[in-house]
Amino acid sequence: MLKERRDFQHVYKKGKTFANHSLVLYVLETKELGGRVGFAAGKKLGCAVVRNRVKRLLRECYRLHQGELKENLALLLVGRKPVTEQACQETEKAFLALGRRAGIFREDAAPGRQVGQP
């Protein structure tokens, strides 16, 4: 996990950005931070309860697909306002769409399994 401010800032500044209506994904190919991920939800999203729910949704989306990701990538997932009203399945679809566009999934992995499906 990315926990320190300098690691977050490094991914923000040096990483490539991909966004859709509900998420922003920062991707940085690096060996020192490879395999690490951070989650963020700004104060514009709402109170602490709402922000914590958004981060839980983002962590769950990542957890379900972490085995399908390429190595040596540092990721930063940032929630946007629409994710506060989305179900887990909708957030997962947004994450998968961004991941495909960013090219973070391995070729041998098949990202597409939805929540609740074997």
In a domain, residue 20? The reply is yes
Instruction: Give the Cα separation of 7 and 90 in Å (integer).
Output: 28
**Phi and psi angles of residue 108, each rounded to the nearest 5 degrees, phi first:** -80, -15
**Cα separations (Å) of 37 from 47, 53, 65, 116, 118?**
23, 17, 12, 23, 25
The CATH number covering residue 70 comes to: 3.30.230.10
Which H or E element spans position 101?
Answer: helix 88-102
What is the pTM assigned to this prediction?
0.87
In a domain, residue 117? The reply is no
In this prediction, what percent of the chain has a pLDDT beyond 90?
A: 77
Residue with tokens 């320190």: 4
Cα 113 to chain centroid distance, Å, stands at: 16
Token reading at 49: 């309860």
User: Into how many domains does the chain fold?
Assistant: 1
- Where residue 38 falls among pLDDT bands split at 50, 70, 90? very high
In a domain, residue 110? The reply is no
Domain that holds residue 84: 5-102
pLDDT in tens, 40-89: 999 999 999 999 999 999 999 999 999 999 999 999 999 999 999 999 99
In a domain, residue 47? The reply is yes
